[in-house]
Amino acid sequence: MDLFLFFTALFLATLRLATPLVFASLGGMISERSGIINIALESFMLMGAFVGAVAAHYSEHAWIGWMAAFLGGLAIAAVYAFFVIELRADQIITGMAFNLLAMGLIPFFSKILFNSTGSTPSLPLESRFSFEPLLVAALLVLALSWWLKNTRSGLWLLFAGENPQALLASGVSVKKVRWAAVTLSGGFAAWGGASLSLYLASSYSPLMTGGRGFMALASLIFGKWRPVPTFLACLLFALADAIQIRLQGVQINGTEIPVQFIQILPYIVTIIALAGFIGTSRPPKALGKEL
Amino acid sequence: MNGNPIIEFQGVSISFGDISANSEVSFSVSAGTIHGIIGENGAGKSTAMNILFGLYLADQGKVLIKGKPVRFQSSIDAMNEKIGMVHQHFMLAETLTALDNILLYQKGSAFSILRRDEQKKHLEAIAKRFGFEIDFDAKISELSVGAQQRLEILKILSQDSEILILDEPTAVLTPQEVQDLFCNLQKLKSEGKTILIITHKLKEVMSLTDSVTVFRAGKVITTKVTSESNLAELAELMVGHRLVTPQERSTAADSSQTVLRVSNLNAQMNSSKIHDINFHVHGKEIVGIAGVEGNGQDILVRSLIDKQGLNKKNFSGEVSVSGTMVSFPEDRLRFGCLPSRPVWENFFLGQQGLAKFNWGPFIRKTEILKSTKRAIENYDIRPTNEFLPFEKLSGGNQQKLVVARALSQNPHFILAAQPTRGVDIGAIHFIHNELRAARDHGAGVLLISSELDELMTLSDRILVLYKGRFIAEFHRENFSEITIGAAMGGVEVITKNAEFL
């Protein structure tokens, strides 16, 4: 019975922890499928987590925070899109710059708004989430998967990433498709961040994404840039995270394993998955290439 | 020729910067004919076609379609006037199916749902009518190059285009596929379509077209009725001067010397494999490797130039080269050169070990520049500027530099992979003569080419590579386009005195 409880708890924890990853990796997916590398996911997530927490704090409704996070994500991603699509800035360097920017910008606003160096005030119990964002995430996976396969704009997205010249030749603006994809990716990744600050926790704390933007990218690669496999990859990494949390404080022969070692687990799983089990994962052909 | 002109160019000019790509181009094409557009690289034939297809906007002059002046801002405008173009590099997404690649071109709103079954039936009907059958459910990467090209043409036909522009359509096809294509094009012509075909292969012009327009240096030299012209005349018009026909070979292969010996070679890289490869190249001998691309040529080249770079487990057998070796890589921009660096650095590349170019740890730049200048002069590389970035040279001049660099080292063995790909007829001539000269000086040459004509003019022997194996060998006296072409398509030829060593 104990074992049953243990596994149920582990399973539920996995689902909860997977939520931010799923949103972020879906964001990464539509951006990268359109041909734009997106290592700025981490910053989009941070932005979503912060904006969501702030809006929820002032409105006292988690779902208002949730929608505000989406808009915040769209906004920061639109700036990213402007740099990489219009100004043709290097996508990797710009992405890194955005990650650094978010790390600096958020404490700045936090200081102005709350006179704190990073954290937002905790949400009162009654205005917290009353639904499971994971359900939203799972529905989004199915919707995106269907959309990619069955609609004209889904086909546009695939061509933007595989052969933008062909898309152009068919009379569709590659730039517009990429703009739409990148900004939308910001919205989704921001939901990933907001599910951290509004769902797994009840406030924003500094750097709370802890590299999940990169782990979402890893899931994307592991899932070969396809929605359902990417979703499963997110679950795998979340499972590692859940196990890691369970293992903290476990003693072997009376000595406790230092918590830092245990916390490495999800990252090790990521590396092993990417290095060892991935097989051939082929990115979209025009990924990161200039038009 | 009777019939009204469907396309008319009247004094069309366009320039890029200070380079005039087309000046005062005028010609017309009759409806329902196959019209050849010939000229060397950089002669302006593609530019003119790109204007017709709406990719460039002419600076001056008029283009008339069915007597009506048009001014296309984009290819969409051209498509609306029922003009379609098959580009030399196919506009296909490899990971998607043939059907999806066509569906992309159908109009509809962003969120409209793709009705694949319906569309497939519709397209299959069109395909059947014109004889362009393909497997619509296959991914592009699973289709042969010939099938991909059929798909590209079908894409145009599905939009009811009346004018088809084909840019170098036969560059990537086997002789058999070329035949099929020409057959299909004749069928399209009989359905009333007008076809413009850009090419530099004069034989094809002679066998396929009704009329032909010759471009040289951005100008139209003349438009001729094909049946009233001949190969030699067209070649002369294209190049602007008489081509010296190559002299018959003056020396025989030197069988006392073997510059390359390959025994029991098996190798694999990505998806390409070669099995049980045995052959040799003597001094003063040119051995050709024929085969449709993708039958193992790339891994064969890798095995010869960089066997250390191949995984041990993917490589077995013996490759021995006696003496010095040079190679012209197939894809010069990717493997042979630094595209954005100046010509002189590219000339130096690969020769950095030579004592004459070094002074201790420093390079002797004046010495290198001098050699580069000499090469530019000897090989007639234009423009004559050793400081120009390599990528600014035309394809023919780039390749001339690559050849100059390789041959200036007086090698014993030359590996020439697709030495004249994307190179114009004058430069081809030049490179062929240089290879012959190197051979006469004692070098052995391994020539890998997808151009059967090239192999047949140069080689002493031709080995045919099919699915990673040599399936036939021909000696010069037995060369025939039909039998070699058949072997390239996988038909085993049993030659009585075939010796595979």
Residues of chain B contacting residue A289, judged by C-beta atoms under 8 Å apart: none
Residue-wise pLDDT for A222-266, tens only, equals 999 999 999 999 999 999 999 988 888 778 788 888 888 888 888
Chain B residues in contact with A156 (beta carbon < 8 A): 104, 110
Q: Do A159 and B104 touch (CB under 8 A)?
A: yes
CB contacts, 8 Å: A179 with chain B: none
CB atoms within 10 A of CB A216: 32
In order of B242, B378, B415, B459, the CA distances from B436 in angstroms are 19, 16, 13, 10
Which residue among A150, A153, A166 sits closest to B93, beta carbon to beta carbon?
A166
Is a pLDDT exceeding 70 seen at residue B245? no
Candidate from A249-263, B93-107, B215-229 with smallest mean pLDDT: A249-263
User: Which domains are present in chain A?
Assistant: 2-276 (1.10.3470)
Q: Which two tokens stand for residue A16?
A: 């909860």
B65: distance to nearest CA of chain A, Å?
21
Q: Which of B76, B94, B104 comes nearest A155 by C-beta?
A: B104
ipTM above 0.90, yes or no: no
Chain A stretch 260-279, residues whose beta carbon is closer than 8 A to a beta carbon of chain B: none
Range in A18-27, A121-130, B405-414 the model is least confident about: A121-130
The model's pLDDT over B31-48, given as tens digits with 9 standing for 90+, comes to 999 999 998 777 888 889
Closest CA to B424 of B36, B17, B75, B43: B43
Interface list for A 138-177 with B (CB within 8 A): 150-153, 155-156, 158-159, 162-163, 165-167, 169-171
pLDDT given for residue A88 in this prediction: 93
pLDDT band at A80 (very low <50, low <70, confident <90, very high): very high
On average, the pLDDT of chain B sits at 86
For residue A169, the distance in angstroms to the closest alpha carbon of chain B comes to: 7
The answer to whether B5-239 and B244-324+411-501 have equal CATH topology is yes
State residue A269's pLDDT score.
86
Boundaries of every domain in chain B = 5-239, 244-324+411-501, 329-409
The size of the A-B interface in CB pairs under 8 A is 58
The model's pLDDT over A31-77, given as tens digits with 9 standing for 90+, comes to 999 999 999 999 999 999 999 999 999 998 889 999 999 999 999 99
Does the pLDDT value for residue B481 go beyond 90? no
Structure tokens that stand for B411 in this block: 């090698």
Is it true that domain B5-239 has CATH number 3.40.30.10?
A: no
Q: What is the pLDDT confidence band of residue B261, given thresholds at 50, 70 and 90?
A: very high
**Kindly report the CA angle at A110 between A105 and A113, in degrees rounded to 5?**
125
User: According to the model, what pLDDT value does residue B248 have?
Assistant: 60
DSSP tag of A200: I
Contact list in B for residue A169 (CB cut-off 8 A) is: 75, 91
CATH class of B244-324+411-501: alpha beta
pLDDT at B97: 94
pTM of the predicted model, to two decimals? Answer: 0.75
With b meaning 16 or more CB within 10 Å and e meaning fewer, what string describes B466-477?
A: bebbbbbbbeee
Residue A61 φ/ψ, nearest 5 degrees: -130, 125
Q: A-chain residues within 8 Å CB-CB of B108?
A: 152
* DSSP letter assigned to residue B471: E
